[in-house]
Chains A and B, each alone.
Chain A
Amino acid sequence: MTAKVITITSGKGGVGKTTTTANLAVALANGGGKVVCIDGDIGLRNLDVVLGLENRIVYDIVDAVEGRCRVRQAMIRDKRLSELYLIPAAQTRDKTAISPSDMVRLCNELRPDFDWILIDSPAGIERGFRNAIAPADLVLVVTNPEVSAVRDADRIIGLIEAEEKGPARLIINRINPALIKRGDMLASEDVLELLAVELLGIVPEDESVIVSTNRGQPVALDSKSRAGMAFQNIARRLNGESVPLMSLEDKDGFFNKLSKMLRSGGE
């Protein structure tokens, strides 16, 4: 077993990096992969709460890198999926506590025991970002269909190429089909044309993401959620399957409304 290291980054904050990391980790582990995800946002850790593992942290990544514990001891095993682990970020340190070569060393130690290592990068283009992409075999850029997120995605894609970690692959998150239809949101095709990069997946805006994050239950575990389905599709593509892009049309169409009515009536 030798793990593939995937870094999830974006440039801009708040576009859904942590949500994407958590859900891809869950979906890959659910599909039978052995997965460890690493929170690269030292000082502002969040992957633990999104995964619902915040109460079980004893050691963190900086403890492991500085030798206060073994790497194994810093790994938290998920309750739901036995092949999913988290290495949390330190909360009381900053990005300079770790160097890019520390990250490469840490991942090399983990590689033989896993299929996937997912790294949740912090926002920005500084040390935390450099740490996160240093060990990457593949970099995923998450963006939203709006001007500031697309602009920052372009900048980060350029930096990934300059660091010879490209070509990056794109995930467009929080797509609102009704707004696109009205002409008030960039469509995926527009974003792809602007960024000229290969698309890995699209994720619709979905309230169930907020609900599941409230509970610490990643939405990819919810088979009824459209966003959850989208993350599962992306995980399958990472596994080499060819999965067509999810159709975002007719979200509020007649049949959808009908089936929603029937579903709520049946429960």
Chain B
Amino acid sequence: MGGWLERLTGSKTNSAENAKERLKLVLIHDRTDLTPDALNSLKNELLAVISRYVEIDPNAVHITMAQEGREQRLVADIPLKTAHRKKVGY
């Protein structure tokens, strides 16, 4: 009933969506005992180690927490810079 009125005034709160997004993050941290800060330093250290071996673009890297059932997994998508560019040198 109130739908059109809310659209008109732009005042639709939809706080449930807000609750869901907040809970998603809180549950990740509760389940893994990882704070957002710790996750960030994990990410930085991981990148530092990987760049010792291969060339990567830190801006293209995606490291996230994913939920699969009640299992949490750390998903890292790390595109490598292609090797043939290096070969140009010799």
Majority secondary structure, B binding face: helix
Complex Cα–Cα for A79 and B30 (A): 45
**Is A147 interfacial (CB 8 A cutoff)?**
yes
**Is B81 interfacial (CB 8 A cutoff)?**
no
A83-107 at interface with B (beta carbon < 8 Å) = none
Instruction: Give me the interface of B with A, judged by CB distance under 8 Å.
Output: 2, 12-17, 19-20, 22-24, 26-27, 30-31, 67, 69-70
Which A residues are CB-close (under 8 A) to B14?
A: 183-184
The answer, among B12, B13, B27, for a CB contact under 8 Å with A151, is: B27
Which B residues are CB-close (under 8 A) to A161?
A: 70
Decide: A186 and B12 in contact? CB cutoff 8 A: no
The answer, among A155, A186, A197, for a CB contact under 8 Å with B19, is: A186
Decide: B67 and A183 in contact? CB cutoff 8 A: no
Count of A interface residues, CB-CB < 8 Å: 21
The 10 closest A-B pairs by CB, nearest first: A183-B14, A196-B70, A196-B69, A184-B15, A190-B20, A147-B19, A186-B16, A154-B27, A183-B16, A194-B23
Instruction: Give me the interface of A with B, judged by CB distance under 8 Å.
Output: 146-147, 150-151, 154-155, 157-158, 161, 180, 182-187, 190, 194-197
Q: With A183-B12, A184-B13, A184-B14 in contact, is A147–B22 under 8 Å at CB? A: yes
Which B residues are CB-close (under 8 A) to A186?
A: 16, 19-20, 23
